[in-house]
Structure 1
Amino acid sequence: MLKYIRDELVSMTDKGNYQTFTSSLIPGCNNIIGVRQPALKKYAKQLVKENEDFRKLLTEPDLYYEETLLRGYIIGMGTAKEKDFDKALEDLKKFVPLIDNWAVNDGFCVEFRIMDKYRQEFLPFLEKCILSEDEFEARAGLIMLLDHYIKVDADGNKKPRMKKVMLEDIGMCGENNKKEEQGMYIDKILLLVNRDFSSNGYYTQMAAGWLLAECFVTFPLDTWRYLTDKENMKLDNVSYKKAIRKICESLTTDDEVKKVVRELA
């Protein structure tokens, strides 16, 4: 990151114990200086506003965790403003290899909002990420699906979570006349997540479980069919159990549904 930006970040460090607190949440990350995320986002927004060519801000390597996260925010905000798919894809390809912890990964993914405009076009790259053996490259692909692809209905409109997932929503309540809601990407998501992530590591497996739990509270019947299709199940056991746990922890899942979901583990 450019020196004047780094100096500004150092001046923004929290004077309390935020550096220690953040370090405790990100094992193995030893270059945290302690800048709060809202301050980082505000600074990124300012930099993008003041610099028409935001990529000129990103020519130097990073020293601190906050610099890499700021880089991700700048790319997310800058590409959303620019609305150029080809340039955004190149930015994405350059940034993903820099990800070495879950916090940078997840902070960047949610901010990469241009993906909402070009979902179909970004899918081939996300598929490549998910098939990677690299822990955070695969996590990036999975979390991008979680942030930008799950909550889309068959017409391409935003689809919120269910208010409550009941037995009838997973087809376990006798005759069910309730119309099944369709999602534009749910089938593709379930296809992509259906692989063994054992060799990727903990943070990929946790992402796979989290992704499936979000699928369940948005499109419960499709996800239930996937989770109960043992014959075609390729997902590793750790990721599968994480999905079950997250589903059962969710306040959206009815207690009766939690009972039958727990029986799958």
Structure 2
Amino acid sequence: MSFSPEEYKELLAEFRRCADEAYKKFNESLIPGTETAYGVRLPKLREMAKDVIRRDAEGFLAVSRAGSYEEILLRGLVIAGMKTGISRRLELVSAFLPLIDNWAVCDSFCSTFRFPNEEEKQRMWEFLRPLFLDSREFFARFAAVMLLDHYVTKEYLPEGLSLLKGVRSEAYYVQMAVAWAVSVCYVKFPAETLPVLQERVLPPFTQNKSIQKIRESFRVGKADKEMLLQYKL
């Protein structure tokens, strides 16, 4: 069953029916420089993505366009959630990354992935490794957010921390993602993550933002929060 251009037009009509002007303005205030064409809320986009996947994910991808924020995000949700082999998914991810130009698409895309087995998870990790050093802002952010969403585990932590320490991008959304990832690592593995902050190898903004985020966590004790202050730059 193919996904026709007429069906794609119906998706755009569904965007218009679900448009929320107040949400559109609010969402745009959170994503500087991005204009959302419709103002469709994320839960609705996830619902639409699931429907597309049930019908014909590949057919949808063949006719979809990057004409608006919502169209790009829906495409990402389909790519991350569709049933396909890891080789095909990585091919689609590679083609999708250049379309990401804001943190909201990046982070929603990352959170949608699920790995049915360790082999697929490892293949994705191999794909992510070079992206930590990528000069393109949202390629590097994608790597950091994928790490914090899926790879803060005992098996991946040592290499993950090493990769985070190696990020030198000065782009704001990369530094914020690295700080967020370091904070998640600390919350789950404080003893293993503390040396990263003690070494003071992160850029000053990232170091201080990591500490701030850790101190904001309800899962970190008061003593740790006070101790971490000595490592601010």
**Length-normalised TM-score, structure 2:** 0.91
Q: Distance in 1 between matches of 2:166 and 2:222?
A: 29
The answer to whether 1:142 aligns with 2:144 is: yes
User: Post-superposition shift, 1:115?
Assistant: 7.7
Contact 1:18/1:34, CA 8 A, preserved across alignment: yes
Q: Residue deviations 1:213-246, cap 9 Å, x none?
A: 000000110101221124xx2x211111110110
Matched residue, 1:76: 80
d(CA) in 1 for partners of 2:59 and 2:169? 39
Q: Alignment length, in residue pairs? A: 224
- Report the Cα distance in structure 1 between the residues aligned to 2:66 and 2:13, rounded to whole angstroms: 12
Match of 1:210 among 155, 169, 180: 180
Question: The residue matched to 2:24 in structure 1 has which SS?
Answer: helix
Match for residue 221 of structure 2? 254
CA separation of 1:115 and 1:245: change in aligned 2, threshold 3 A: farther
Q: State the alpha-carbon separation in 2 of the partners of residues 139 and 249 from structure 1.
A: 21
Q: In 1, distance between residues paired with 2:187 and 2:61?
A: 38
Worse-matched range after superposition: 42-51 or 56-65:
56-65
Residue 220 in structure 1 maps to residue 190 in structure 2: yes
Cα distance per residue 1:46-79 (max 9 Å; x no partner): 111122xx1221233221111111111111111x
> Equivalents in 2 of 1:113, 1:94: separation in Å?
19
**Paired position in structure 2 for 1:186:** 157
Q: What pairs with 1:124-143 in structure 2 (closer than 5 Å)? A: 124-143=126-145
Equivalent residue, structure 1, for 2:102: 101
Q: Which runs of 5+ in 1 are unaligned?
A: 153-182
Aligned identity (percent) is: 36
Q: Contact (CA 8 Å) 2:133, 2:169: kept in 1 or not?
A: no
1:11 to 17, 35, 50: 17
What SS does the corresponding residue of 1:27 show, helix, strand or coil? coil
Residue of structure 1 in register with 2:199 after alignment: 229
- CA–CA separation in structure 1 for the residues paired with 2:68 and 2:231: 43
What CA distance in whole angstroms lies between the structure 2 residues aligned with 1:68 and 1:197?
A: 28
Structure with the largest fraction of helix: 2
How large is the RMSD of aligned CA atoms in angstroms?
1.6
Aligned partner of residue 114 in structure 1, secondary structure: coil
Shift of 1:4: 2.7
1:62-108: per-residue Cα shift (whole Å, max 9, x none)? 21111111111111111xx33x1111111111111110000000000
The Cα shift of 1:196 comes to 4.5
TM-score by length of 1: 0.80
- Structure 2 portions without partners, runs of 5+: none
